[in-house]
Structure 1
Amino acid sequence: MLKINQLLFPKRFQLLKTFGLTFLVFSFIVRVCLYFFSLNYIDFSIINLIKIFGIGLFYDIGSLLYFLALYAIYLLLIPTKLYGSKFDKIITKFSYGLFLFITIFSFLAEIPFWQEYQRRFNFIAVDYLLYTYEVIENIHQSFPLPLLIGLIIFILILSIRFAKKRNAYKQVFNNSDSFKTKLIPTSIILLVLALFHFNIKNTQAENFKNINENELAKSGLYSFFAAYKSNELNFKDFYNTIPSTENYAIIRDLIKANNDSLITNKKDIKRFVTNTGEEQKPNVIFIGLESLNARFMERFGNDKNWTPAIDSIAKESILFTNLYATGTRTIRGMEAISLAIPPTPGRSIVKRENNDNLFTIGEIFKEKGYTRTFIYGGDGHFDNMTKYFSYNGFDIVDRKKPHRLKEKLPTKRVRIEDNEVSFENAWAACDGDVFKKLLEVADKQYKSKQPFFNFMMTSSNHHPYSFPKGVITSDEKTRENAVKYADKSFEEFFEKAKNKPWFKNTVFVVISDHCAYSAGRTEINVKNHHIPAFIFNLKNKTPQEIDKLSSQIDVFPTLFGYLNWSYNTNVFGTDISKMTTKDERAFIGNHRKVGLLKPNKLLILETQKHHSTYQWNKKENKLTPIQTDSVFLKETISYYQSAYELFKNGGLKIDPKK
């Protein structure tokens, strides 16, 4: 045994061995912590516990190999005469410290990430890495930064002292191991790494029915890089497909309503929608509510009085009580609402290449003579929002950073200035300030005598849940208080808006972008896609509730129906008010898995060309596996395959010259 140890870890490799032990111990501790955080969400059993930690150890070793390989190559190549030299000591100590810092930081970061998303690092973490200012500010505002830095330094010092107590540094610098001696462990590390890298996928850790147990079995670092590689998925490579001709025959039949006329015989969804009656052209203000679950509202069972203002306005509106968000992020909500399209797997279209000059709902407003403006309290550079909306015809009002003032856009851009902001956090100015800006923008637009469409996103109901002091009874940073502040800002906006000359001729569309607390026992938690959506201040429309199963993508086509608009369209959404029972459906997804929800069943398309079908008990939010109906499968494939193909081949584009 001693000889094998010396063969695998000669003296020159003792620091490498020590780092490996340290890494695996940290990995184990983090997994234990996350396991305890998830006790209320997992299906506990001793067998599953052993499997989670066994699979987890396997993936931790795989992640560790990437670090070991880098240092092993250095150890192999440096000649014996340089052992212990100044150069060798600098490289070794710096590399060891750097690797330890990355390891400690990533493991500590996993804990708040898990608490927020109930997931290992995924595509959200990849996206956030691109926006260092917002992320660092969020960390600073969420946690005591000196304490966090101190904790990292403390663990770093302990880890280095552990290495010194094992005499790892001395053995690395004071030995005469030959190239041949070093070649054996280096070759083994590189060989095992190659086998792991080319044959093991992150999804192979998913051996449980419970999503939380699947995530616990993964390695955070490995999941991060797996998410980076899969940020955009080729639908045809990863999902079930059907022949192109059959696909477009199905989708054209699915989306064509009785009042629609398909324009071409081509492989597209272009059609003309006819509505009877006199066209109305009120101003339209869309308010996107950040992370507002339906169950935060009294109407949907909340008895804690979180949203009295939102509930009050909803009672006076056309309220859609059975409507679902397509995804779990703001840019998914923006994609669904603005493009009226099912969520294509991978990253949102808002962040993809070639997403300019698309047929958005803004084109329908443009056809009717409206101005179009996107209003956001943060820097719209985040998640590519500014470019997406600007290159699709919207003027921009946002809190752009000073170093981006010279950034050129094809439409107008107005900055929310410092003197207009009473409070802001890492993400944006508080909702109250943004609503004030919205009122100011609407006042100016009203004077122009041209109808306007404003697309505004709130943000205060987002971690770190910070807001101005004294607005609500408690200043504590909690989800409940963030929701209450968002509701209070909503109330103050409407109190002021009702006194404006443009109010009587303005319709307000209010939709949540997605739900908070998207974690659950299943891969897609249907309940955590249920969101509030309503249309307020429609002329000649009595407040009512519509309980038809529907999607974010349907709200604006429904508004256009209420306004008696006839128009050309290239969107997937349909008019909810005209839906029959057989038309009811919603689209939900979570980056890799996308599903079609019907009133009593759900079909999920998965990578590796797999799919699953479930009976859905809405009352208990319970999914029970059932046999797949081939018609239902083709319908689901057609929606998502068409959405993917039309975006990729330019079928959703418009002619910018027209």
Structure 2
Amino acid sequence: MWQKIFPDRFALLKTFICIFLILSFLVRTVFLFWSFGEIDTSITTIISTFGIGFLFDVGTVSFFALPYSLYLLLMPQKFHGSIVDKSITYFAYNIGLIIFLFSFFAEITFWDEFKNRFNFIAVDYLVYSYEVVKNINESYPIPYLVGLILIAVGLLIFITYKKAAFTKTFKSNTPFKAKLLPFLAVLFIAIISGLFIKNKQAEQFANRYNNELSKAGIYSFFAAFRNNELSFDDFYKTINTDKAFDLVKASYKNEKATFLKPKDHSILRTIQNTDSVAKPIKPNIIFICIESLSGKYLNTLGGDYNITTTLDSLASNSIFFTNLYATGTRTVRGMEAITLSIPPTQGRSIVKRTDNIGLFTIGEVFKNMGYSRNFFYGGDGYFDNMNTYFGGNGFNIVDRGRGFLLDKEIKTTRTNIEDDEVTFENAWGVCDEDIYRKVIKEADMAHENNKPFFDFVMTTSNHKPYTYPEGSIDIPSGTSRQGAIKYTDYAIAQFLKIAKTRPWFKNTVLVIMSDHCASSAGRGELDINNYHIPAMICNLQDTAPQKINKLCSQIDMFPTVFSLLNWDYTSNLFGKNIFSMKQEDERAFIGNYRKLGLLKGNRVMVLGDQKKFNFYEWNSTNNNLTLIPTDKNYLDTTIAFYQAANYLYAHNGLKTQQ
């Protein structure tokens, strides 16, 4: 039978397909043992996982096999084994092996970081190849890995020769009719896989890890490439738009808010925080957004790592939020939540979407209160579209630019972090100490101009490759995330040491919060514990330290800051003043690019594409989610927030001019 499907002329193609299937099986097995404790390892589930995976592997390799099988079909018999035939075949075979081996290596590095097959993030990373390639080079021994790939290619070619696949292919006398069957078989599989099989069809299990294992990396990559935008109305369950906005507006009943367009699909409102006693104050605000800092690493949040001495001390002497959750799993998602104060939108973050300038961000509130607004980033803010987003929404840019220009329509200033201001730098930018020194330098100049400033500072040191200046802490650079976190904490201590000597510091409030956790993958649809982040408001004069245990979200941080400053302001923000929340108001929005969740108490509703939804009871002790019967009101409320957020973006309702 094999001889009929793969006659001698197709011997090399058969070997090529077998090599891919074997390598893919080995990678899937590696991932299985790598994440063994998280996977459903029952025999039937494992068999199903690998069975589905095999079908996706067959579909994937058919795309690679199709061009060569067409070539084999059309190449006349008399030219079999000619110089042209051999040149094309050797070139195609070597390129195919290199692509396969490189993709499998890339999958391993991606799994190490995200515990996922290639997805939306991998597609995004193609755009920012400089940072990504540099990061890979600093995180992994690239020369050795490239050498291993080349050795593996050589070994596979040797095995191919030993199997006489080249000889059979070049010396065959297979006629056109015999070549037609294997070509049609490959064509049929490629058409079925390309037109009728969707990547999400691999997701047949309750356990997220099994779903990821059952996928094929290359197939997942191109699926993400084709579907990196998601329409809420097309992919998610919806309700009547009027009802959605009514539910969202009703959630603000405990705030002193007046809606400016009560009959419209709008949440624009005025918020009153002043009274006869509380007068507005205008301190400088420095917001430090810490890269990838999970709550579990702080002793004050239950950790036992003993690597955040400074942050633990600040937590004990600040307004410290112990039950606050990030909205997403990437920096741009955190930026979206913090600046727009909006639930996580489906698909890519608004920071990276089109039509994302001129929006009503927290910067508008600061602008209306007379503040200058500055965005600090230790790398090139071209990465992840940060400069366009912040510059297009009124922030001045301070970054380590490499020459990428802002859009001509964006009117803002851009200040470079110069070479003589850099003591240490890696793929993602300058070390935290360097960015803090730049913040202090700019704050000194702003103080001389006697104008309050709001600084958004994005750190980078707590990111793989986890490198930082040697000798700064007692953990060698580049060895672990714990070392990077300890250095992050050390850099904040050094920043405070210098800042406290400045005349502007006494009148400066520090807001410190993580952009997202160090990891987000879990067994269930959303791993709630991996969204728990530290957040605190420090150095607010005449305010006693306190711990706030209310369940809340990243989107609530700056509405809370504005309330503490006693500001009356116009708001287009979804976030609330945490202090005004009653128990029934407490909630957190969490999601990834496909799953959108609303957490209230120990229950969470998760909206999925294909208009699916699941309602869970969350056991915070073991972090398990247990399916429970759907609460219709809870479901409608969850849909309402995400639908309203999507509607406002799609209909320019987030713009400053409405």
Instruction: Give the TM-score taking structure 1 as reference length.
Output: 0.97
CA distance in 2, matches of 1:255, 1:13: 68
Mean Cα deviation higher: 190-199 or 374-383? 190-199
Query: Does the aligned pair in 1 maintain the 2:422–2:430 contact within 8 Å?
Result: yes
Q: Which amino acid aligns with 2:289?
A: G
CA distance in 1, matches of 2:280, 2:510: 17
CA distance in 1, matches of 2:459, 2:491: 10
The alpha-carbon deviation at position 177 of structure 1 amounts to 2.8
Distance 1:407 1:240, change over 3 A: closer
User: Is residue 373 of structure 1 aligned with residue 374 of structure 2?
Assistant: yes
Q: Deviations over 1:471-513 (max 9, x none)?
A: 0012152011110000000111011111111001111111100
What does residue range 179-258 of structure 1 map to in structure 2 within 5 Å? 179-258=176-255
User: Is residue 299 of structure 1 aligned with residue 296 of structure 2?
Assistant: no
| Corresponding residue to 2:36 among 21, 35, 39 | 39
Query: Does the aligned pair in 1 maintain the 2:388–2:407 contact within 8 Å?
Result: no
Partner residue in 2 for 1:479: 481
CA distance in 2, matches of 1:648, 1:225: 26
The alpha-carbon deviation at position 51 of structure 1 amounts to 1.7
Secondary structure, counterpart of 2:178 in structure 1? helix
Secondary structure, counterpart of 2:430 in structure 1? coil
CA distance in 1, matches of 2:210, 2:405: 46
Q: Deviations over 1:182-232 (max 9, x none)?
A: 222111211122112222222221222221122111111111112222211
User: Is residue 274 of structure 1 aligned with residue 272 of structure 2?
Assistant: yes
CA distance in 2, matches of 1:304, 1:136: 31
CA distance in 1, matches of 2:565, 2:636: 34
CA distance in 2, matches of 1:177, 1:649: 61
Partner residue in 1 for 2:563: 561
The alpha-carbon deviation at position 250 of structure 1 amounts to 1.6
Q: Deviations over 1:387-418 (max 9, x none)?
A: 111111111001111x4268755210011111
Partner residue in 1 for 2:50: 53
Partner residue in 1 for 2:77: 80
Q: Which amino acid aligns with 1:359?
A: F
Partner residue in 2 for 1:347: 348
Mean Cα deviation higher: 196-205 or 588-597? 196-205
Aligned-pair identity in percent equals: 50
Query: Does the aligned pair in 1 maintain the 2:283–2:509 contact within 8 Å?
Result: yes
Q: Which amino acid aligns with 1:453?
A: F
Partner residue in 2 for 1:632: 634
What does residue range 17-32 of structure 1 map to in structure 2 within 5 Å? 17-32=14-29
Aligned residue pairs total 652
CA distance in 1, matches of 2:568, 2:50: 59
Q: Deviations over 1:16-66 (max 9, x none)?
A: 111000001111111111111111212322222222211111111111111
User: Is residue 157 of structure 1 aligned with residue 154 of structure 2?
Assistant: yes
Q: Which amino acid aligns with 1:404?
A: F
The alpha-carbon deviation at position 151 of structure 1 amounts to 0.5
Mean Cα deviation higher: 196-205 or 440-449? 196-205
Partner residue in 1 for 2:363: 362
Q: Which amino acid aligns with 1:604?
A: V
Query: Does the aligned pair in 2 maintain the 1:256–1:262 contact within 8 Å?
Result: no
Q: Deviations over 1:346-386 (max 9, x none)?
A: 11111111111111110111111111110000011111111
CA distance in 2, matches of 1:22, 1:75: 19
Query: Does the aligned pair in 1 maintain the 2:329–2:519 contact within 8 Å?
Result: no
Mean Cα deviation higher: 63-72 or 544-553? 63-72
Partner residue in 1 for 2:163: 166
Partner residue in 2 for 1:288: 289
User: Is residue 422 of structure 1 aligned with residue 423 of structure 2?
Assistant: yes
Secondary structure, counterpart of 2:653 in structure 1? coil
Q: Deviations over 1:571-629 (max 9, x none)?
A: 11111010111110000001110100001200000111110001122233232111111
Partner residue in 1 for 2:335: 334
What does residue range 548-587 of structure 1 map to in structure 2 within 5 Å? 548-587=550-589
Partner residue in 2 for 1:133: 130
Partner residue in 2 for 1:597: 599
Distance 1:193 1:646, change over 3 A: same
Partner residue in 1 for 2:260: 263
Mean Cα deviation higher: 86-95 or 382-391? 86-95
User: Is residue 447 of structure 1 aligned with residue 448 of structure 2?
Assistant: yes
The alpha-carbon deviation at position 87 of structure 1 amounts to 2.6
CA distance in 2, matches of 1:347, 1:459: 21
Q: Deviations over 1:231-288 (max 9, x none)?
A: 1110111110001222222222224543000001211111111111211111111100
Query: Does the aligned pair in 2 maintain the 1:232–1:346 contact within 8 Å?
Result: yes
Partner residue in 2 for 1:142: 139
Secondary structure, counterpart of 2:426 in structure 1? coil
CA distance in 1, matches of 2:253, 2:655: 20
What does residue range 408-419 of structure 1 map to in structure 2 within 5 Å? 409-419=410-420
CA distance in 2, matches of 1:106, 1:256: 52
The alpha-carbon deviation at position 120 of structure 1 amounts to 1.2
What does residue range 529-544 of structure 1 map to in structure 2 within 5 Å? 529-544=531-546
Q: Which amino acid aligns with 1:412?
A: T
Partner residue in 1 for 2:548: 546
The alpha-carbon deviation at position 152 of structure 1 amounts to 0.6
Partner residue in 2 for 1:621: 623
Q: Deviations over 1:51-95 (max 9, x none)?
A: 221111111111111101121122223333433333322222111
Query: Does the aligned pair in 1 maintain the 2:388–2:406 contact within 8 Å?
Result: no
What does residue range 514-529 of structure 1 map to in structure 2 within 5 Å? 514-529=516-531
Q: Which runs of 5+ in 1 are unaligned?
A: none
Q: Which amino acid aligns with 2:404?
A: R
CA distance in 2, matches of 1:85, 1:373: 65
Distance 1:257 1:523, change over 3 A: same
Q: Which amino acid aligns with 1:269?
A: I
CA distance in 2, matches of 1:70, 1:500: 67
Secondary structure, counterpart of 2:173 in structure 1? coil
Mean Cα deviation higher: 411-420 or 49-58? 49-58
Query: Does the aligned pair in 2 maintain the 1:255–1:573 contact within 8 Å?
Result: no
Query: Does the aligned pair in 2 maintain the 1:255–1:572 contact within 8 Å?
Result: no
The alpha-carbon deviation at position 559 of structure 1 amounts to 0.4
Mean Cα deviation higher: 160-169 or 318-327? 160-169
CA distance in 2, matches of 1:281, 1:73: 71
Q: Which amino acid aligns with 1:564?
A: N
| Corresponding residue to 2:502 among 500, 503, 513 | 500
Partner residue in 1 for 2:468: 467
Query: Does the aligned pair in 1 maintain the 2:350–2:356 contact within 8 Å?
Result: yes
Secondary structure, counterpart of 2:463 in structure 1? coil
User: Is residue 13 of structure 1 aligned with residue 10 of structure 2?
Assistant: yes
The alpha-carbon deviation at position 639 of structure 1 amounts to 0.4
Mean Cα deviation higher: 244-253 or 264-273? 244-253
CA distance in 1, matches of 2:174, 2:306: 71
Mean Cα deviation higher: 45-54 or 344-353? 45-54
CA distance in 1, matches of 2:163, 2:130: 39
Query: Does the aligned pair in 1 maintain the 2:387–2:406 contact within 8 Å?
Result: no
Query: Does the aligned pair in 1 maintain the 2:327–2:334 contact within 8 Å?
Result: yes
Q: CA RMSD in A?
A: 1.5
Q: Which amino acid aligns with 1:382?
A: F
CA distance in 1, matches of 2:144, 2:638: 49
The alpha-carbon deviation at position 168 of structure 1 amounts to 1.8
Mean Cα deviation higher: 628-637 or 313-322? 313-322
CA distance in 2, matches of 1:98, 1:556: 52
Query: Does the aligned pair in 1 maintain the 2:328–2:590 contact within 8 Å?
Result: yes
Partner residue in 2 for 1:62: 59
Query: Does the aligned pair in 2 maintain the 1:257–1:574 contact within 8 Å?
Result: no
Q: Which runs of 5+ in 2 are unaligned?
A: none
The alpha-carbon deviation at position 180 of structure 1 amounts to 2.6
Secondary structure, counterpart of 2:607 in structure 1? strand
